[in-house]
Amino acid sequence: SFTVECMRDARTLTIVKAVIDMARSLGINITAEGIETQAQQTWMQHLGCDSAQGYLFARPMNVDDFVRMFIDRRGVGRERSLMH
């Protein structure tokens, strides 16, 4: 993935930076995908990504498991706001 490769390949890094710059100039928020390590998250944040997703945060899951995880991490009472 670009997320992994841009940390070790200069040409890939150039592409990633160009895409981030283009998105920024258009006012688009940038989510880095495929984040598996803290180093990758830090690197993509340094490059200008607004958010990240990947195995570092959670494996794919069904909706019920997601709601349980969300409530566990955020506290009881947020289930209603999550579902809107």
Cβ–Cβ under 8 Å, residues 19 and 49: no
Percent of the chain whose pLDDT exceeds 70: 88
37 and 67: one domain?
Answer: no
Range of the domain at 20: 1-53
- Cβ atoms of residues 23 and 3 within 8 Å: no
State whether 41 and 65 are in the same domain: no
Is there a single domain that holds both residue 43 and residue 12?
Answer: yes
Q: For the whole model, what pTM was predicted? A: 0.73
Q: What mean pLDDT is reported for the chain?
A: 87
Q: Are residues 64 and 84 in the same domain?
A: yes
Q: Which of 5, 33, 36, 79 is catalytic?
A: 33
CA distance 62 to 39: 27
| pLDDT tens per residue across span 21-41 | 999 999 999 999 999 999 999
Instruction: Assess whether 79 carries a catalytic annotation.
Output: no
Q: What's the total number of domains in the chain?
A: 2
Contact 45, 16 (CB under 8 A): no
Same domain, 48 and 64: no
**Inter-residue contact 57 to 34 (CB < 8 Å):** no
